[in-house]
Amino acid sequence: MAATKVSHLSYFNNQLWGGNQVLVAVLGICSALGVTNRLSVSITMGLSVSFVTAFSSLFVSFLRKVTPDSVRMITQLAIISVFVIIIDQFLQAYFFSISKIMSVFVGLIITNCIVMGRTEGMAKNVSPWPAFLDGLGAGLGYAGVLCIVGAIRELFGFGQLLGYQVIPLSWYATSESPNGYDNFALMVSPPAAFFILGGMIWIFNLVNKKA
């Protein structure tokens, strides 16, 4: 009994770190570049993807024995789309300003490789509870990476975190003190996330080698 519990949790833990979908499998990069210039948006995106992967894995796993093999991809897509639309509608109703910033990226969760990868690669082969944990772990692992990238980009691109000024305004360059601090303009644009992700993968590999 205890052994199965441990192994169930390992589905979750493995996705969070050792098998992180962004850092190891390098999946979900498109949205990781697109929505990470503000921390608040990164968090919302991370949580949305976690919700979608967790619950679509759960339902794909529930249906795994009755799903005909020839239409399994379509079935997975239908289930994923339902959850993505739920998230999209929910954001539109209660977090309109965030849904406006995320615009197409919420709808594009459907095409996020992580979701399909988890349902096809894991959920259709295991029972619902491990599938759910695996999906949740994959989503939260993605969310964690997104938050780190988002925090770095917002801090250096805008000097803020979650919209609050972190770098004191007195440090900034003005016409009187032209040698002051300036925001790093590259951080605001998507390519910055590319460099940060590359750096993170490098650090990740260094740490894992030692361990």
Q: Please report whether residue 146 would count as binding other proteins according to CB under 8 A.
A: no
Torsion over CA: 5, 11, 67, 47 (sign): positive
Nearer Cβ to other proteins, position 9 or 78?
78
Whose CA is closest to 183, among 195, 197, 169, 193? 169
Nearer Cβ to other proteins, position 68 or 178?
68
Nearer Cβ to other proteins, position 10 or 81?
81
Q: Please report whether residue 81 would count as binding other proteins according to CB under 8 A.
A: yes
Taking the complex as a whole, the smallest distance from the CB of residue 17 to other proteins amounts, in Å, to: 33
Query: What HEC string does 138-195 produce?
Result: HHHHHHHHHHHHHHHHHHHHHCEECCEECCCHHHECCCCCCCCECCCHHHHCCHHHHH
- The 84-123 site mask, x for binding other proteins (CB under 8 A), equals -xx--xx-xxx-x---x--xx-------------------
- List CB contacts of 145: < 8 A, sequence separation 6 or more: 20, 22, 23, 32, 197, 200
Residue 161 pairs in a beta bridge with 164
Q: Please report whether residue 75 would count as binding other proteins according to CB under 8 A.
A: yes
Rounded CA separation 125/121 (Å): 8
Nearer Cβ to other proteins, position 2 or 93?
93
- The window from 71-79, 116-124, 171-179, 198-206 that contacts other proteins (CB under 8 A) reads 71-79
Which residue ranges make up the site for other proteins (CB under 8 A)? 66-68, 70-71, 74-75, 78-79, 81-82, 85-86, 89-90, 92-94, 96, 100, 103-104
